[in-house]
Each structure stands twice: as C-alpha cells, then as structure tokens.
C-alpha cells in the first residue's frame, strides 16, 4: 500500500490548545462551508443565500452581516483557469466579502506548494478502508489542479498563508448585549489534524450506539453500561471541547455529513456537525424515502450557526412572512429550511442547510473539465448524479439532533 495520499505530515498537526489560542471570528450568525470542491454553481447559490440572509436581517432591524467561513477544500474540480480564479477570488481574493474567512484544507495546502509532495500526494490521509484506486485518483486530481495553481502565484501565496483552524463565536445581535455567547472550533479535519478522520461518519458512533450511551435526558453515561466504544468517543470529544474552550466542533473533510449532540457529565451541551460536502450531493438519490427532505439527495450541505437573538432559519422565515412586506417575503423564501438541527439552549442553534445548486449546469461544467475516464470522473461522477451509496438522513443524525 503506497503512502502517497495516506500519510499525514507533521505540518498538518496541531492540538486543542492551539485551537484555543487561535483567531476568533465573531458574528450573530454564520455559514460554515466545507468541501465546496470548486463547484462554481454551489458557490453561486451560497453567495446568494448569504446575501439573502444579510438583507433579510436588515429588513427585520437586525445589525450585522452573517459570517461566511470556508473550512477548507474549496478547490478541487475547478481545474479550468477561469473557474480556479473565480472560486479563489471569492474566497481569498480581493473580491471576497468583508466578513468572509477561510481555513486551509489539504487541497489548499498541497496546491500552494512549489511542487506536489511525493509522499503526501493529495494530503487526504486516507484510512486503510478507502480503496487504493480512490487514493491514486485523488493524487492525480491534485497534480492536475496544481498545474493550474502554478499559473496563479498570487493565489498560491494567499492559500499558503491560510490558518488550519479558527474559532467561531456567535454573539447577541445588539438587542440583548448581556445574553451569553457560544464558541465553536472550525476545523477541516478533526481536533488534532487538518486531515484527521476521527470526526467522520465512519468513526462517530452510530445513532443506536449513541442512544445507548445517553440517559433519558440526553446526558452522557459515566459508566460503560451503554456501549464502551461509544462512551469513549464521547469522553474524548468532551475532553477536546473542554481543552479548546468550545461548545462544539464544525468539521468537514470526510465527505459524508454526520451530526451528534449530547449533554456532557457537567450538563453542558456538546455538538459535532460535520457538513460532509458543500459541493457534492450528500445523501442517496436511490429510493430511500426518508432522504427526500428539502431536496437533500441532490444538494450540498453547509452548517449554519446562529445566536438565539437571530434564531433558526424557520424563525427568520416566520418573522418575514408575518411582516408581509413583499421584499421580506421574497428574501425569506430564498432561505432553505434545515435538514436537521441541534439546540444549545439560550446560546446557539446549529443547522444543516441544503445547498440546492443548479445541478444540470454543474454536471455540464464538470464533464467539460473532467471527461469520461478522467480521475475525477471515475471517482466522483456517480456521486454527483446519484449521491453516495445507501446513505440517508437517518444515518447522519445521532444523539440530540432532530
């Protein structure tokens, strides 16, 4: 088994203490966008969504622009010069919004280098259960994208300076300055590595295991009467949150969404939301009836976090519709309802938001850049059309997530 694409460089690693000391982005609401993968149509939809919420908040008399945080791998399939420039201009260039932030994913780290590292390859640090063919093709995708990146040295320079993580604090929206805020760690991989897989759907205990690890009120069991492996995961995650000084972690990297929420032994809520991918479908399009919620099978997924003073998406829509003003109603209808959410009472709501981009336009664009037989087509076109095999909302939701 080749190490290229499976190894994790020391430069990718950090500790919860590093995250605790890292830069903090403060806002009353925020969108966290992991794994855009160069999808220009998803980017267009995202920017429209962000602008719609910003305008609606103004209409409702709320100050402040929602933060927009790209949590790595916003590049991948954008190998055309124009697409590469367009995506990076919006994320790290002069064209980005005033409250737009980015952290590096393994893709950004590797394409910012002078040459692709023969040992690191794509930088995905794939675990053993991922097929060798997938790994080899990911390495080739990075080599092709790197050739594009070399023609944009200014962008490479900006990508090389991106942080590996940030903290996000959702704070009151002006009206109640004494209301408590809530802080999250925003990472690409996990709490110890930019390309870590420990917060992926395969590693997070299943819904049934998490259920056995929690008491009736959602509190973590302190003994192993439920499930030993599940309890150990929750203990480690709780310890990492405590060390980082956060209530939860917002991650991506592993390509499948998963969310878990529970009460720690101290009674504090702990939340993990891995958005899977903003730029690819996240749920199976096959006839699994429970996946047909809010266009989930053909949509990307992003994470929205908001302070209670702003509220969940459903409350924003309700306020706007109640006002009856045509401009408010039009903006409210642009805000998609969440697929699932978790509440940290009095401090934050965390939502998985579907990103329903123009699928046909994106598939045509993808095929023009990555034709049949190309590495990205072999690895990802089926997912672009049908979503991941046999993965639905039921598999993503665990613990006190509804």
For residue range 282-331, list pLDDT tens digits in order.
998 754 444 445 556 679 999 999 999 999 999 999 999 998 899 999 99
The string of pLDDT tens digits covering residues 34-54 is 999 999 999 999 999 999 999
pLDDT score recorded for residue 117? 81
Q: Is the pLDDT of residue 224 over 60?
A: no
pLDDT score recorded for residue 195? 97
Residue 128 φ/ψ region, left for φ over 0, alpha for ψ in the -120 to 50 degree band, beta for the rest: alpha
pLDDT score recorded for residue 297? 64
Q: Would the pTM count as exceeding 0.85?
A: yes
Judged by average pLDDT, the poorest of 50-64, 173-187, 277-291, 310-324 is 277-291
Average pLDDT score over residue span 204-228: 82
Cβ neighbors of 138 (< 8 A, separation 6 or more) are 5, 121, 122, 124, 126, 375, 379
Superfamily of domain 10-399: Metallo-dependent phosphatases (3.60.21.10)
The string of pLDDT tens digits covering residues 96-151 is 888 999 999 999 999 999 998 877 889 999 999 999 999 999 999 999 999 999 99
Beta strands in 75-212 (DSSP E): 100-103, 165-170, 182-187
pLDDT, averaged across the chain:
92
Q: Which two tokens stand for residue 21?
A: 């000391």
Average pLDDT score over residue span 342-365: 96
Average pLDDT score over residue span 209-214: 92
Helical H segments across 254-312, by residue range = none
Closest CA to 80 of 10, 172, 28, 147: 147
Using alpha carbons only, what angle is made at residue 206 by residues 132 and 224, rounded to the nearest 5 degrees? 120
Judged by average pLDDT, the poorest of 62-76, 107-121, 254-268 is 107-121
Q: CA-to-CA distance for 109 and 97, rounded, in angstroms?
A: 22
Q: Which two tokens stand for residue 201?
A: 């759907």
């Amino acid at each position: 088994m080749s190490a290229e694409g499976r190894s994790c460089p020391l430069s990718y690693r950090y500790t919860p203490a590093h995250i605790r000391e890292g830069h903090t982005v403060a806002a009353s609401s925020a969108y966290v966008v992991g794994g855009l993968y160069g999808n220009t149509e998803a980017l267009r939809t995202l920017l429209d969504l962000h602008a719609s919420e910003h305008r609606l908040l103004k209409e409702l008399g709320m100050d402040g622009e929602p933060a927009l945080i790209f949590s790595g791998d916003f590049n991948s399939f954008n190998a055309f010069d124009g697409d590469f420039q367009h995506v990076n201009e919006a994320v790290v260039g002069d064209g980005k919004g005033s409250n737009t932030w980015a952290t590096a994913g393994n893709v950004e780290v590797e394409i910012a280098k002078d040459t692709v590292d023969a040992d690191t390859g794509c930088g995905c640090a794939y675990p053993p259960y991922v097929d060798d063919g997938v790994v080899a093709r990911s390495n080739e995708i990075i080599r092709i994208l790197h050739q594009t990146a070399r023609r944009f040295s200014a962008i490479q320079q900006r990508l090389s300076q991106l942080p590996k993580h940030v903290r996000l604090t959702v704070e009151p929206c002006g009206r109640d300055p004494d209301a408590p805020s809530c802080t999250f760690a925003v990472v690409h991989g996990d709490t110890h590595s930019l390309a870590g897989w420990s917060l992926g759907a395969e590693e997070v205990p299943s819904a049934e295991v998490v259920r056995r690890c929690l008491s009736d009120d959602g509190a973590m069991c302190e003994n192993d009467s439920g499930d030993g492996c599940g309890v150990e995961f929750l203990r480690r995650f709780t310890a990492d949150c405590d060390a980082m000084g956060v209530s939860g972690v917002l991650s991506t990297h592993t390509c499948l969404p998963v969310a878990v929420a529970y009460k720690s032994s101290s009674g504090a809520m702990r939340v993990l939301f891995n958005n899977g991918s903003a730029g690819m479908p996240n749920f199976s399009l096959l006839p699994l009836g429970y996946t047909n919620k809010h266009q989930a099978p053909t949509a990307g997924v992003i994470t929205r976090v908001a302070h209670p003073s702003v509220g969940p998406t459903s409350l924003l829509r309700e306020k706007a519709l109640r006002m009856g003003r045509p401009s408010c109603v039009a903006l409210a209808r642009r805000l998609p309802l969440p697929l699932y959410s978790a509440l940290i009472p009095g401090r934050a709501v965390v939502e998985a938001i579907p990103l329903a981009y123009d699928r046909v336009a994106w598939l045509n664009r993808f095929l023009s850049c990555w034709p049949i037989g190309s590495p990205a087509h072999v690895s990802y076109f089926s997912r672009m059309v049908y979503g991941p095999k046999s993965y639905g909302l039921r598999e993503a939701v665990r613990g006190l997530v509804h």
